[in-house]
Amino acid sequence: MKLVYFAWMKEKAGISEETVNPPATVTDLGQLVDWLKERGEPYTGMFQNMAAIRAAINYEYVKIDAAVGPDDEVAFFPPVTGG
């Protein structure tokens, strides 16, 4: 599973993307976030306030209960500020 980060999420992560292999019990985005936080920093800091974070799976905006699988590209970022 590929994870990509943008804006302050990327700064806190210290990287813009990484590949992770969560266990098969991780089937939705909320479980993925919980699994990442169990690994400690920087994830605990990055995912401290989920209300401040948006996500996309395979380039589509999704909610926190969206299903996620090993071949997905999952992006985490703050609310967008384009235009």
Positions that interact with another protein (CB under 8 A):
4, 6-8, 10, 56, 59-61, 75, 77-83
Least distance between another protein and beta carbon 24 (Å): 27
Closer residue to another protein (CB): 20 or 56:
56
- In whole angstroms, the minimum distance from the beta carbon of 57 to another protein comes to 10
Long-range contacts of residues 11-17, Cβ cutoff 8 Å, at least 24 apart: 12/42, 12/45, 12/46, 13/42, 13/46, 14/42
Q: Give the side-chain half-sphere CA count within 13 A for 30.
A: 5
One-letter amino acid identity for 37?
K
Identify which of residues 21 and 81 has a Cβ nearer to another protein in the complex. Answer: 81
